[in-house]
Structure 1
Amino acid sequence: MKSAILAADATAIYYGQLHALLTQGSPIKVRVFQNREQAAQWLGVPIELLAAEPSGEKQIQSRGDFRCSDT
Structure 2
Amino acid sequence: SDSYNLRLSDRRAKATVQYIVSKGISKERITGSGMGETQPKVACTACTEEEHAQNRRSEFLIIKK
Whether TM-score is above 0.5 comes out as no
The structure with more radius of gyration: 1
What is the TM-score of this pair, normalised by structure 2? 0.35
Task: Compare the two structures and name the one with the higher helix fraction.
Answer: 2
Pick 1 or 2: higher relative contact order, CA cutoff 8 A, min separation 6.
2
